[in-house]
Amino acid sequence: MTKRELAPTFVPADIEPRMYQHWVDSGYFTADSSSPKEPFTIVIPPPNVTGNLHIGHALDQTLQDCLTRMKRMQGYEALWLPGMDHAGIATQNVVEKQLAAQGLTRHDLGREEFVKKVWEWKAESGGQILGQMKRLGDSVDWTREAFTMNETLSQAVLTIFKKLYDQELIYRAERIINWCPRCLTALSDIEVEHSDDEGELVSIRYGTGDSEIIVATTRAETMLGDTAVAVHPDDERYAHMIGKTVTVPLINREIPVVADAHVDPAFGTGAVKVTPAHDPNDFEIGLRHNLENLVILDADAKVVNTNSAFDGMDRYEARKAVVEALRAEGRIVAEKRPYIHAVGHCSRCDTTVEPRLSKQWFVKVAPLAKAAGDAVRDGRVKIEPEELAPRYFEWVDGMHDWCISRQLWWGHRIPVWYGPNGEVIVVGPGESAPAGYEQDPDVLDTWFSSALWPFSTLGWPNNTEDLKKFYPTSVLVTGYDILFFWVARMMMFGLFAMDGVPPFGTIVLHGLVRDQFGKKMSKSKGNVVDPLEFIDKYGADALRFTLARGSNPGKDQALAEDWIAGSRNFATKLWNATRFAMMNGVTVEGDLPPVSALNAIDKWILSRLSETTAEYSELLSTYEFARASEVIYHFAWDDLCDWYLELSKEAFASGNAQATQRVLGYVLDQLFRLLHPVMPFITEELWTTFTGGETLMTAAWPASNSSHLDKDSEELITQLQRVITEVRRFRNDQGVKPSQKIPGRFIAPADVAQYSSAMAFLLKLELGDFTPSASVEIGNIKCELDLSGAVDVEAERARLEKDLATAKKDLATAEVKLNNQGFMAKAPESVVAEIRERQAATTADIERITAQLAALK
């Protein structure tokens, strides 16, 4: 063992990067699939290859690293598997933007060249987030780094596609899908974000005279594609119209009035226009009534096929023109502007989504989603916190078929080939299509491959050692915001592909990181923070501790730079406490002295350590990161630094501290182990320096030692703390400077009096003979003091009167209870006893304070 000196101050930047590299080089992060140890597996929610580490990643990864490091220390074969997602639209957009700067589009390059270009971009500037994860200290197994477009993961995609197709869980159909007219691709429901936008609500009169009917719309241009008007079957206002036709203005098309129970008679006029090709609800109505699907908007959202003056206009231009033309014909009955309503936007480029009829590939989700729901319902998979389970059920139980085809070039190309005579075949891994067949030009939704992540990253479809050892994964840690995007899909595909074995045992959901006022971070608000800046400024440990400390299960957390500074202060505190220990000969060598040989102060800290260890471990293993952090923080700062070290200073100063040197050594050793998962860098530095050990990463996790629990010592130290606090308060009230030594002595029972010198040392009292001029009483303990000058009687009286008032109030509340017959009859004995004790104690206090007040006069 080689002990080193501790630098005078802790500078995170000086140790973090080299320490991280050392960890990687030493193979501590690398999991062994042939190990006999029980596995513990986490797969990282793969960040986008285009992404940079934002504060949400920092939180997510801190929690995962925390669990991984703890489990590793607990003797598990811990695997935290890193990797990235190819992020179809996002990545394609990035590269297209680069091309646009040169005046090129992807079509100028052609498909093959463009995809090559994307790979080049990835090699050069993709995956920056991986380096940033290292700054955070993530103990991920870099030897297993995965990427959704890699060869093995692509094989997994082909395999499952074919398997789903063969079981008729993938089909091709003409449906209304969400279409982004800018990205020129279909989007799944979850790639659409709704916001309340300003629009217009225009009421239009169709038909004339008796066959007149008024409909309202926010998209007037869609009237060009109307093929019906629908009313509720029970709506008497329109009973006479059902089955008849009305004329659509401008294009003079006769369309039927149909009765459909899905029409809300209370909304507007109770009659709705039906545009089956451009609205999902209308499409459904169309199916029920055999209506024609008139496509009147093309891929760019320009009007087509109407044989009118509107052809060629884009949707907004046409909306205006259509309203103008209707107004000129006197067809506009009412206009509401602005009209606030929910509008869907492309989650990638924010363009307003256009519902569009088109031929796409779908996953039939009903059976898969059922299984995904059941796995949670029957308890095979737990959701933490369980309050979020209803959201999960709401989603999986009401999921629409999943549109998986995307009109992009970057992604897994759909393995379907079409023959010259309309044949359709799916080409699995290792197979090839017959000559003359052409492959479907579309690629798969990015989430299709992400849904395979928990097993594709372990080598599936091959039955690899990794897959055998590490599947199913233990926990999935992610934000509740992607419960639907990703988690539900992994559940569906995991259960399907892995013969009903769910991809993880527990889903741990955390919240979002918000700004210091609890507001959502957004670029437009300018309140977005950069975790890397915080790491530069305060160290990774400080950021990690702050995030863990703020992470209550499933709840959002506010984050302010001040809190991170506070965590940095905590790190400094640990550093300095260790320096103090080291300069006082504290050691981890030799056996811990038997408890019977220890003084109450040493017994007390061991007892507190044991309690803290148990509580903290329990909280961490139940994903209560905030509460765990709070517990360890107060143990380290309050119990250890503020009390134990202070109470022990007299022993160190007097050179009579052999037992304490060893006890403190033990406590620090254990504390560093406990803190290591959250604050890996500083604990590693302190521990290796202090103990001379090789690494804390594989050191054993502390066990709570019940033989150290000692309620008597805890009670005694609590008494000492009260005495010390009261004397300090008295000195403060009397204007005695903290550093000024004054004569003092304790008149107390033997167990307390035994620690007179320890108390005197930290109270700056000189024990000895003197004539007291003042005294402080705490229960049956008296501290006599010589202020060697005038006692500030007024200050003392004010203090005593305040204490008296408090005591009287406490006594009153206690007596109200004791005089309450209901309470005496029904409250449990222990509670009654407690109130009685309180009554006795406050009564004694009142007597004592009253006497003191009398003596002052």
Partner RNA sequence: GGGUGGUUAGCUCAGUGGUAGAGCGUCUCGUUUACACCGAGAAUGUCGGGGGUUCGAAACCCUCACCGCCCA
Site for RNA in 594-653 (CB under 7 A): 626-627, 630, 637, 641-642, 645-646, 649
Q: How far is the CB of 523 from RNA (least distance, A)?
A: 16
Site for RNA in 132-191 (CB under 7 A): 189-190
User: Closest CB to RNA among 31 and 216?
Assistant: 216
CA 200 to each of CA 286, 339, 344, 352, 630: distance values in angstroms, whole numbers, following the listed order? 25, 5, 15, 15, 52
Q: Which stretch binds RNA (CB under 7 A): 84-92, 403-411, 562-570, 700-708?
A: 562-570
Among 147, 310, 534, 563, binds RNA (CB under 7 A): 563
Q: Which stretch binds RNA (CB under 7 A): 51-59, 230-238, 810-818, 848-856?
A: 810-818
Question: Does residue 576 bind RNA (CB under 7 A)?
Answer: yes
Q: How far is the CB of 438 from RNA (least distance, A)?
A: 34
Q: How far is the CB of 492 from RNA (least distance, A)?
A: 17
Site for RNA in 394-413 (CB under 7 A): 394-395, 398
Q: How far is the CB of 382 from RNA (least distance, A)?
A: 15
Question: Does residue 732 bind RNA (CB under 7 A)?
Answer: yes
d(CA 279, CA 664): 71
d(CA 855, CA 677): 57
d(CA 487, CA 189): 15
CA 356 to each of CA 190, 263, 295, 365, 702: distance values in angstroms, whole numbers, following the listed order? 16, 21, 8, 21, 60
Site string for RNA, 449-488 (x = CB under 7 A): --------------------------------x--x----
SS3 state of residue 432: coil
Among 74, 152, 552, 839, binds RNA (CB under 7 A): 552
Which region holds residue 15: left if phi is over 0, alpha if psi is between -120 and 50, else beta?
alpha
Q: How far is the CB of 671 from RNA (least distance, A)?
A: 13
Q: Are strands 416-418 and 438-439 parallel, antiparallel or unpaired?
A: antiparallel
Question: Does residue 342 bind RNA (CB under 7 A)?
Answer: yes
SS3 state of residue 153: helix
Question: Does residue 728 bind RNA (CB under 7 A)?
Answer: yes
Question: Does residue 339 bind RNA (CB under 7 A)?
Answer: no
Q: How far is the CB of 216 from RNA (least distance, A)?
A: 16
Question: Does residue 813 bind RNA (CB under 7 A)?
Answer: yes
Q: How far is the CB of 360 from RNA (least distance, A)?
A: 17
Three-state SS annotation for 588-620: CCCCCCCHHHCCHHHHHHHHHHHHHHHHHHHHH
CA 81 to each of CA 29, 405, 791: distance values in angstroms, whole numbers, following the listed order? 10, 28, 68
Whether the CA torsion 349, 354, 360, 363 is positive or negative: it is positive
| Listed residue (448, 424, 449) closest to 434, CA to CA | 424
Q: Which stretch binds RNA (CB under 7 A): 24-32, 217-225, 560-568, 600-608?
A: 560-568
Among 9, 52, 98, 621, binds RNA (CB under 7 A): 9
Among 520, 703, 833, 836, binds RNA (CB under 7 A): 520
Among 219, 356, 568, 676, binds RNA (CB under 7 A): 568
User: Closest CB to RNA among 188 and 473?
Assistant: 188
Question: Does residue 418 bind RNA (CB under 7 A)?
Answer: no
User: Closest CB to RNA among 208 and 820?
Assistant: 820
Determine how many CB atoms are found less than 10 A away from the CB of residue 285: 21
Site for RNA in 185-244 (CB under 7 A): 189-190, 194
User: Closest CB to RNA among 290 and 522?
Assistant: 522
Return all residues near 169 (Cβ < 8 A) that are at least 6 apart.
Answer: 363, 364, 367, 368, 496
| Listed residue (47, 46, 45, 41) closest to 67, CA to CA | 41
User: Closest CB to RNA among 190 and 426?
Assistant: 190
Q: How far is the CB of 107 from RNA (least distance, A)?
A: 33
Instruction: Give me the DSSP letters along 495-506.
Output: HHHTTT--SEEE
Backbone φ and ψ for 773, nearest 5 degrees, come out as -110, -10
Q: How far is the CB of 691 from RNA (least distance, A)?
A: 18
User: Closest CB to RNA among 238 and 480?
Assistant: 480
Question: Does residue 131 bind RNA (CB under 7 A)?
Answer: no
**Residues 464/495, Cβ–Cβ less than 8 Å:** no
| Listed residue (445, 452, 462) closest to 492, CA to CA | 452
Question: Does residue 566 bind RNA (CB under 7 A)?
Answer: yes
User: Closest CB to RNA among 434 and 518?
Assistant: 518
User: What percent of the residues of the chain are helix, what percent strand, and what percent coil, each to the nearest 5?
Assistant: 50, 20, 35
Question: Does residue 569 bind RNA (CB under 7 A)?
Answer: yes
Query: What is the helix (H) or strand (E) element at residue 100, kind and residue range?
Result: helix 88-101
**Residues 489/507, Cβ–Cβ less than 8 Å:** no
Return all residues near 37 (Cβ < 8 A) that are at least 6 apart.
Answer: 75, 76, 77
Owner of token pair 């759909």: 414
Q: How far is the CB of 444 from RNA (least distance, A)?
A: 21
Question: Does residue 380 bind RNA (CB under 7 A)?
Answer: no
Site string for RNA, 269-308 (x = CB under 7 A): ----------------------------------------
Instruction: Give me the DSSP letters along 514-542.
Output: E-TTSPPP-TTTT----HHHHHHHH-HHH
Structure token pair of residue 199: 């629009």
SS3 state of residue 52: coil
User: Closest CB to RNA among 36 and 828?
Assistant: 828
Q: Which stretch binds RNA (CB under 7 A): 88-96, 414-422, 558-566, 591-599?
A: 558-566
Q: Are strands 742-747 and 765-766 parallel, antiparallel or unpaired?
A: parallel
Q: How far is the CB of 467 from RNA (least distance, A)?
A: 32
| Listed residue (857, 115, 827) closest to 443, CA to CA | 115
User: Closest CB to RNA among 238 and 485?
Assistant: 485
Q: How far is the CB of 738 from RNA (least distance, A)?
A: 4
User: Closest CB to RNA among 121 and 580?
Assistant: 580
Question: Does residue 714 bind RNA (CB under 7 A)?
Answer: no
Question: Does residue 839 bind RNA (CB under 7 A)?
Answer: no
Among 577, 686, 696, 781, binds RNA (CB under 7 A): 577
d(CA 274, CA 281): 9
Question: Does residue 738 bind RNA (CB under 7 A)?
Answer: yes
Site string for RNA, 23-62 (x = CB under 7 A): ----------------------------------------
Among 143, 725, 754, 850, binds RNA (CB under 7 A): 725
CA 445 to each of CA 172, 361, 407, 804: distance values in angstroms, whole numbers, following the listed order? 14, 10, 9, 72
Site for RNA in 79-98 (CB under 7 A): none
Question: Does residue 831 bind RNA (CB under 7 A)?
Answer: yes
Among 307, 517, 523, 819, binds RNA (CB under 7 A): 517
Structure token pair of residue 99: 């091309």
